[in-house]
Structure 1
């Protein structure tokens, strides 16, 4: 059995997978807001998971929106800010007596899909989460490739390739301190900004997509602009990695038209005359993150 945790700002979820990938137990609880309480809660949830599974589980995977700094071994960039600056791996190991594995939640998403999901037949798999923001994870031979600086897959904070104001609209500042990051364009938030720039109206991404599907002209223009931006972003990725499959997750992954339109939008920006492009929707959807966390202990 393998135990996985999905850590969020408001909820902490635990699951137990068997080695065939079947979920044996799943439980959700509010995320504690202090470090010591968090460590104690995770340790207690491990005990609960083992009790419900009826088996001892030595390997525990933790997926969180942050990373372990290779320089210090401490958590960095976590949206649960109370985790930052702590040696979470060592503290959880001490509190639970288990072997602890920690990875960014986007890497966990990608790992789940590479092990037994939409990318299971690929050697090189890139998982792209197109939700409120834009995250990514790179998997090689069913192993997370975090990189020397633990920023492997962080394509959402690259600058949008080929940006021009005429084509892409006004400069978009990002919370990271830079301008025109990829996630400011090819995300639900990015689509909403594009629509607001054109109409001066605020509308949720899913409603813009619904209007596009109904034939609305402005929503259709915003969609076509986003697909072209996605094509540039994915082409830059493919020109470097040439993955076997790109698996899409997040809210925008549910837009069926993307799987029809993305190959055509990407092709003009590739450094090749012929390419076999494979974009797939995540098989496990919102469950991929916690499943991937469990798979960290394989």
Structure 2
């Protein structure tokens, strides 16, 4: 058995590799390189290979399997990548190409799935409920995504879209058009840019979400109204997940997840919509920060 297990977070601007000690789960090496997706798919593959070779030289061991966290996912039916905002990956058989290029086995998962897996096994869930059986790991940022972990294992689903609650319809009348082709998706209502748009429509003023949250803390009425809009719609959106999955813990990552009002007021908003008479599901902030993606990728192969 090898001494280490490996993960790679394939982001839009950087590629990060983490080498983890198999016995202690300690990260012994982290190294990054630019993605440079504008130079094409093959160039990105070359950057990945160079990064892996550099790390292997430093730790004195070449991996026989690597976990990759990716934007989008492999379509199980077609075998190619889909739904990637890093568009150079769409339509490519990324897993097969990486296996040939790196001469080792690879395992791919969506970056939101990697976030959920890392926080469940190594992060916040271990602090609040180490015996949790079902974890829903949410990313609320520029977009809305999530991953499902049951008994420590990811649920990818038949189409490879397990956890993709961001494209459930939340607003049925006069919803904003979404890039996915529908309108009124969760992402168009409570993602960071959507909340900034909501505030702008109220005031005619452009402000960052961080500024809006600060304004709410200082008592500005329309800032508070914007956060109420967030909390109420988050409660409605996540109630569907709770009714179906009944998770022990929901970890809320991304920039929107930093807003304290979610943790203070969302349970009351959720309670209006769930089948259970009370909300026992724990809502927590993540623990691992920007390490979650690459650690979760490594967890895919441990």
Normalising by the residue count of structure 2, what TM-score does the alignment of the two structures yield?
A: 0.92
- Which residue pairs with 2:201 in the alignment? 197
Residue 55 of structure 1: how far off its partner (Å): 2.9
Change (3 A) 1:262 1:21: farther
Which of 41, 61, 64 is the aligned partner of 1:58?
64
Question: Matches of 2:250 and 2:195 in 1, distance apart?
Answer: 21
Q: How does 1:38-187 map to 2 (within 5 A)?
A: 38-120=44-126, 121=130, 122-160=132-170, 163=171, 170-187=174-191
Question: Matches of 2:159 and 2:139 in 1, distance apart?
Answer: 21
Q: Is the Cα contact below 8 Å between 1:236 and 1:270 reproduced in 2?
A: yes
Q: Is the Cα contact below 8 Å between 2:156 and 2:162 reproduced in 1?
A: yes
Question: Matches of 2:65 and 2:124 in 1, distance apart?
Answer: 24
Q: Is the Cα contact below 8 Å between 1:248 and 1:280 reproduced in 2?
A: yes
1:13 paired with 2:16, answer yes
Deviations 1:164-200 (A, max 9, x none): 76xxxx5311111211100111121121011011111
Question: Matches of 2:230 and 2:159 in 1, distance apart?
Answer: 30
Q: Is the Cα contact below 8 Å between 1:125 and 1:245 reproduced in 2?
A: yes
Task: Give the secondary-structure state (helix, strand or coil) at the position aligned to 1:41.
Answer: helix
Q: Aligned residue pairs: how many?
A: 292
Gaps of 5+ in 2: none
Residue 291 of structure 1: how far off its partner (Å): 0.9
Task: Give the secondary-structure state (helix, strand or coil) at the position aligned to 2:158.
Answer: coil
What stretches of structure 1 move > 3 A for 4+ residues in a row? none
Deviations 1:211-265 (A, max 9, x none): 0011101100111111000000111110010011000100122122321211121
What's the RMSD between the two structures over aligned residues? 1.4
- Which residue pairs with 1:241 in the alignment? 245
Q: How does 1:252-263 map to 2 (within 5 A)?
A: 252-263=256-267
Gaps of 5+ in 1: none
Task: Give the secondary-structure state (helix, strand or coil) at the position aligned to 1:243.
Answer: coil
Q: Is the Cα contact below 8 Å between 2:8 and 2:297 reproduced in 1?
A: yes
Normalising by the residue count of structure 1, what TM-score does the alignment of the two structures yield?
A: 0.94
Change (3 A) 1:274 1:72: same
